Structure 1
Amino acid sequence: MSTLRMAAVAAEFGRDLEADFILVEQLIKQARADGVRLLALPEACLGGYLLSLDSKATGADDDPGPPPLALDGPEIRRLADLAGELTVIAGYCEAGEDGHRYNSAVCVTGDGVLGNHRKVHQPLGEDASYASGADFRAFDTPAGRIGMLICYDKAFPEAARALALDGAEIGVCISAWPGARTNAAADLAQDRWKRRFDLFDRARALENQVVWVSANQAGSFGSLRFVGSAKVVDPGGDILADTGVAPGVATAEIDVAQALATARRAMGHLRDRRPEAYPHTAGAGNA
């Protein structure tokens, strides 16, 4: 039996990149001390997210947005150096070689970049700040074969399915998922957008029978109030660890290979697909 200790973070990050790195370093040190080998940090943890998803919001027009960082630049190298032997996933604003900015997730170890994902699905007004990514691909890491999603990506079953079909054993979704914009609940734990956040995490794990690691921003930034709720979900859709709406770290230990084998032994959702029955399904459904 070979178990993997993994952790998902719910924390507050902002525009001050140096302050963000200080918090990232603290979280990595804590993870290392706790024996964690896979650590997921939130979307936009390097430089913060957007002040609002409405471009007409007060102050939004004056905000330069998160600092664009090159995938091969010093900031990502710094993240890799901090990661060392850990596999760390973090969100940042990527300065694309094509001149566009992307909302991206990078996976690093001390050896460098192992994977990079550009957010494909953009909610509300996010496309005013970022270009869209184009695909979903899994990749190998010391922690296992991983597929990455960012926030709204997980609302689309095809995205996680594409990763599972590409051999992902662990899905890592990093988010800056806020509470509801209208009729917001006074108690964030009762917010309907928080409920959707949790449902998507459990459904994506269960339907693909993979381990699911979900990190999220916590606290507030601009007009957004984030729901936290970082968690680790097993291939049966059961939550193994959860921070709730407060900042924190959800940590769980699981034998990934055994968990996948057990979940898929009787009813293998990937094995039992009948893609010829749904030929009009875009993307992974035709694979």
Structure 2
Amino acid sequence: MSVIRLGLAQVEASFGDQEQQNLVRALDLVRQAGERDVDLLAFAENFPGPFTDANRYEVAEPMARAAREHGVAVAYGTSLPDPDRPGSFNITTVVVDDRGEERGAYRRTHPVGPYIYRDSPEWNFDYVAADDFPVIDMPWGKLGISICSEVHLPEVTRILALRGAEVVLYPSGLLIDELGYTEAWQTLVHARAIENHLYTATLVNLMSRSVAEQFAGESFESSGPGLTRGIGMVASPEGILARSPEPGILVAELDLERTRYLRRTTEELIVPAPYRTIPGHLDWRRPELYGTLLEAAREAAPSARQG
């Protein structure tokens, strides 16, 4: 299989005593994805939850069962207990295949906690950053994940690419559009595709305007059925494949053989070029020079944190 159908499930997230409705919505979206012949369905950061340490509920078994029943691989968001810090949690995306078997999981690595995950009634637990960058083997290829604002850190995606990732998902949390980040965010997601010769995709949890006001203390323009706007987008190294701010499942076809071709091909000056980006540039890398990057990062980190 060299062509896969990727679906992005951009959907309303509920909080508080309605939070478990997220799981109901997620299971129905897996069903819909199966009806649309989606190979991999991705959910936004931490969806379907849980979003707090006070309201825990089981999502792994129902999501695996739905994936198996409808024949759809799923990358869903949750918070998992940190194995080294009792009472703390990792922001996690779990990947199960179309047989309902867990293939792997990525626990968010940046930034260090507590970041934005404390002291809100909607999203509240002791977040701890993890330290690993797994690449997940799928039947069709290799999948990487980088969560939310990690898109601003090119090192994360480059590590995944060098480990063989062919598709990288950027599930995001909330209020990206309302904060004014969408243009820069989508530009970065596309840039990660170009510089690493892979497919990238991003999406965000949608919320009712009343919930958004609880987070940010001000009114927002709403879209769709009274919801905040989405940032759903799928990109290739050669262009944007799909984009929508609306709720629902955004679907795009990814031709993995095309990105494999771009990785193994040497650029030639052919007019018109048979590609829309410079191919083969990962082979230009000179790792022996990059110790300087680590040295500069160590020297700059304290002053950068101080602002």
Question: Could you say which TM-score interval applies, normalised by the shorter chain?
Answer: 0.7 to 0.9
Root-mean-square deviation (Å)? 2.6
Letter aligned with residue 243 of structure 1:
S
| Aligned residue runs from structure 1 range 239-254, under 5 A | 239-244=240-245, 246-254=246-254
Structure 2 residue aligned with 1:278: 290
Higher RCO structure, 1 or 2 (CA under 8 Å, sep 6+): 1
Partner of 1:78: 62
Q: Aligned-pair distance for 1:107?
A: 0.5
Residues 215 and 260 of structure 1: CA distance in aligned 2, closer, same or farther (over 3 Å): farther
**What is the distance in 2 between the residues matched to 1:142 and 1:205?**
21
Equivalent-residue separation in structure 2 for 1:261 and 1:270 (angstroms):
12
The question of whether the paired residues in 2 share the 8 Å contact of 1:41 and 1:174 is answered with: yes
3-state SS, counterpart of residue 97 of structure 1: coil
Q: Mean alpha-carbon deviation: is it higher for 136-145 or for 13-22?
A: 13-22
Tell me the CA shift for residue 68 of structure 1: 5.0
SS in 1 for 2:156: helix
Give matches, 1:202-241, under 5 Å. 202-220=190-208, 221=211, 222-223=214-215, 227-236=229-238, 238-241=239-242
Larger radius of gyration: 2
Inter-CA distance 18–117: structure 2 relative to 1 (3 Å threshold) = same
| In the alignment, structure 1 residue 147 sits paired with structure 2 residue 159 | no
Aligned match of 1:183: none
Secondary structure at 1:168 match in 2: coil
- SS of the residue 1:281 aligns to: helix
Query: Could you tell me which of 73, 84, 105 is aligned with 1:87?
Result: 73
**What corresponds to 1:58 in structure 2?**
none
Question: Quick one: distance in 2 between partners of 1:203 and 1:36?
Answer: 25
Aligned partner of 1:160 in structure 2 is 157
1:103 aligns to what SS in structure 2?
A: strand
The residue type paired with residue 97 of structure 1 is P
Q: Structure 1 CA distance, aligned partners of 2:116 and 2:32?
A: 33
In the TM superposition, residue 264 of structure 1 has moved relative to its aligned partner by: 5.2
- For residue 56 of structure 1, what is the aligned residue in structure 2? none
Do 1:104 and 1:119's aligned partners in 2 also have CA atoms closer than 8 Å? yes
SS at match of 1:228: coil
> Counterpart of 1:112?
101
Deviations 1:148-187 (A, max 9, x none): 111011110000000000100111111114247xxxxxxx
- 1:136 is aligned, of 126, 133, 139, to 133
The whole-number CA distance in structure 1 between the counterparts of 2:117 and 2:285 is 33
Structure 1: how far apart are the matches of 2:55 and 2:146? 21
Give 1:219 shift: 2.8
Residue 57 of structure 1 is matched in structure 2 by none
Q: Which residue of 2 aligns with 1:184?
A: none
| 2:193–2:237 contact (8 Å) kept in structure 1 | yes
Identity of aligned residues (%): 27
Cα–Cα, structure 1 residues 120 and 66, in superposed 2: closer, same or farther, change >3 Å? farther
Aligned residues: 255
Cα contact 2:3–2:256 (8 A) shared by 1:
yes
Kindly report structure 1 stretches of 4+ aligned residues shifted beyond 6 Å.
none
- The answer to whether residue 22 in structure 2 is matched with residue 20 in structure 1 is yes
Q: Which residue of 1 aligns with 2:115?
A: 125
TM-score (norm 2): 0.75
